[in-house]
Structure 1
Amino acid sequence: MTPSTAASSRTTGVDLDAVPDAFDGVASTYDLMVALNPGYHAHLRASADVLVAALPRDLDRPVRVADLGCGSGASTAALEAALRDAGLDYELLGVDGSAGMLAQARRKPWRGAVRFLQGNAETLTPASLAPGAPSGAPVEGYDGVFAAYLFRNVDARDRLLAQVRDLLVPGGSLVVHEYSVEESRSGRVKWDVVCWGVVVPLGLLTAPRSSIYRYLWRSVVDFDGAERFRSRMVAAGLEQVRSRTFGGWQKDVLHTFHGRRPRAAGTA
């Protein structure tokens, strides 16, 4: 455990190893909480659109997309809607460490080839994601990986980025949807006000025995700045790395990061 994660544990009562269990405890009310955030689903869809726009259109098979840290399925739903609106055939896999959150995700109505897997994102390989795939075992990798609100819950971020790079086919894209306020004083102030004025009090109403929403505040405070996270992506072997923030109160708070695995030598 790093000093920052140790501080998070002392402040919130939740350490990184316990995050999946902590989400189990709020799974039944989590969708209610995010519904109270009027921009939550629209922002996920905007980042999902970035990933879908980067997917290949000339394959002789469905595009394969993995949603790491899918939670109760909100990000998976955003991806499925974006894929359908783009007219793409797809195989979509949601992965999360919380059995309770995955149970909520599986209850939702899915229109296409969508499946869910409980697993630790830090130990995934293409082969480990293969069992039960709609059209066989995609051991060669994924065309796109989406990760919403995942990386700040991971201590070994560089290792996870390298593993995600290996999940991607050459030319495949990673899109990360994440809060980051380290580089913005105004972003940090807005985050503090929203969390302690809205999120934590609502969390006490919907899940009074859980400290997960205090952990949410701290995990964002401890997370990388946007420039630092882009540098991690480059160091992990991704190229064309860029990011953008959202408007409104989420400016300099919520970001979309995008990078690609380099294509094999000699390919277009």
Structure 2
Amino acid sequence: MTLLRGDALSAAFDHGSVAYDRLVAASPGYHAHLRRSARRLRLPEGGRGLRVLDLGCGTGASTAALLAAAPHARITGVDASAGMLDRAMSKSWPPGVDFVHAPVEELAGRWRRGSFDAVFAGYLFRNLDDPDSALALVRDLLTPDGRLAVHEYTLGGSPVHRAVWNAVCSVIIQPAGRLAGDPELYRHLRDSVARFDAAPAFARRLRRAGFAGVRVLPLPGWQTGITHTFVARSTPAGRERS
């Protein structure tokens, strides 16, 4: 089981960006689940006056979800794939939305500590070499008591969840990836989920990184027990508070 990392993964997403929106649109609940996770940030007043970082924004599906939840926020989308980001930037966005092409690992020093009131990360952390370093960066970029929502494939504790994921990948996701000409990318999708933290383990990872108020929230439909929203808040100097 070999996972794509770094430049190889970015290149695979560059190639896959052509068909990506079409494929995810065919996934039941994909956009609705992102919108649900974005709402779980619970940004007040539609995000008025708030700065939100959308890490791993891809073609902009998570950006659109954040806009639906917080139409008055200033949103910065970041992605390591130039192809995916080009797709995002080609869409129509209101003032206050901008995009940055950079791997998460290269964001240190781009913004001052406490630059963002909230961070949203969709389908990101299982693709990183060092998710703990990325969480430390996120914690530093957030204001004290800033809000974090992570929307991620993280299997639940039951063997049934892993069996459903493998079955869906075998019957639907990987054949669709082959038809789109991106078999390597969708094999990576299957394997990266299998290799990554289960939901309780990722919650513990968040707590170790200094986040407080960590909650693991399910998503409905076939992704129950497969995809979760993790919500948390930052704390000064990464010290968790009761």
Q: Secondary structure of the equivalent of 2:53?
A: strand
1:128 maps to which residue? 110
Distance apart, 1:81 and its partner CA:
1.3
2:145 maps to which residue? 171
Specify every segment of 5 or more residues in structure 1 that has no aligned partner in the other structure, as ranges.
1-6, 130-137
The residue correspondences of 1:116-155 to structure 2 (distance < 5 A) are: 116-125=99-108, 127-129=109-111, 140-155=114-129
* Alignment counterpart, residue 8 of structure 1, candidates 2, 8, 11: 2
* Alignment counterpart, residue 179 of structure 2, candidates 197, 205, 209: 205
Paired letter, 1:231:
R
Distance 1:43 1:156, change over 3 A: same
Which stretch shows the higher mean deviation, 61-70 or 143-152? 61-70
* Alignment counterpart, residue 88 of structure 2, candidates 90, 97, 105: 105
Q: Secondary structure of the equivalent of 1:105?
A: helix
Paired letter, 1:194:
V
Structure 2 residue 240 is the aligned partner of structure 1 residue 262: no
- Distance (Å, rounded) in 2 between the aligned partners of 1:140 and 1:246: 30
Distance apart, 1:223 and its partner CA:
0.6
Structure 2 residue 222 is the aligned partner of structure 1 residue 222: no
Aligned residues: 238
CA RMSD in angstroms, aligned pairs only: 2.1
Distance apart, 1:19 and its partner CA:
1.0
Specify every segment of 5 or more residues in structure 2 that has no aligned partner in the other structure, as ranges.
none
Q: Deviations over 1:196-246 (max 9, x none)?
A: 10011111112x254100110000000101111111111111100111111
Taking only the aligned residue pairs, the percentage that are identical comes to: 46
Answer whether contact 2:46 2:69 (CA < 8 A) is retained.
no
The residue correspondences of 1:185-204 to structure 2 (distance < 5 A) are: 185-204=159-178
- Distance (Å, rounded) in 1 between the aligned partners of 2:185 and 2:195: 15
Q: Secondary structure of the equivalent of 1:172?
A: strand
* Alignment counterpart, residue 156 of structure 1, candidates 130, 154, 157: 130
Structure 2 residue 33 is the aligned partner of structure 1 residue 43: yes
Distance 1:17 1:58, change over 3 A: closer
1:78 maps to which residue? 65
Distance apart, 1:97 and its partner CA:
0.2
* Alignment counterpart, residue 25 of structure 1, candidates 15, 20, 28: 15
Answer whether contact 1:90 1:112 (CA < 8 A) is retained.
no
- Distance (Å, rounded) in 2 between the aligned partners of 1:231 and 1:161: 12
- Distance (Å, rounded) in 2 between the aligned partners of 1:58 and 1:90: 7
Paired letter, 2:170:
W
The residue correspondences of 1:52-63 to structure 2 (distance < 5 A) are: 53=42, 55-57=43-45, 62-63=49-50
1:250 maps to which residue? 223
1:133 maps to which residue? none
Instruction: Please give the TM-score of this superposition, normalised by the length of structure 2.
Output: 0.92
Answer whether contact 2:118 2:142 (CA < 8 A) is retained.
yes
Moved over 6 A (4+): none
Q: Secondary structure of the equivalent of 1:144?
A: strand
- Distance (Å, rounded) in 1 between the aligned partners of 2:190 and 2:207: 27
Over alpha carbons, which structure has the higher Rg?
A: 1
Q: Secondary structure of the equivalent of 1:252?
A: coil
- Distance (Å, rounded) in 2 between the aligned partners of 1:190 and 1:249: 8
Instruction: Please give the TM-score of this superposition, normalised by the length of structure 1.
Output: 0.83
Q: Deviations over 1:82-111 (max 9, x none)?
A: 112xxxx32100000000000000011112
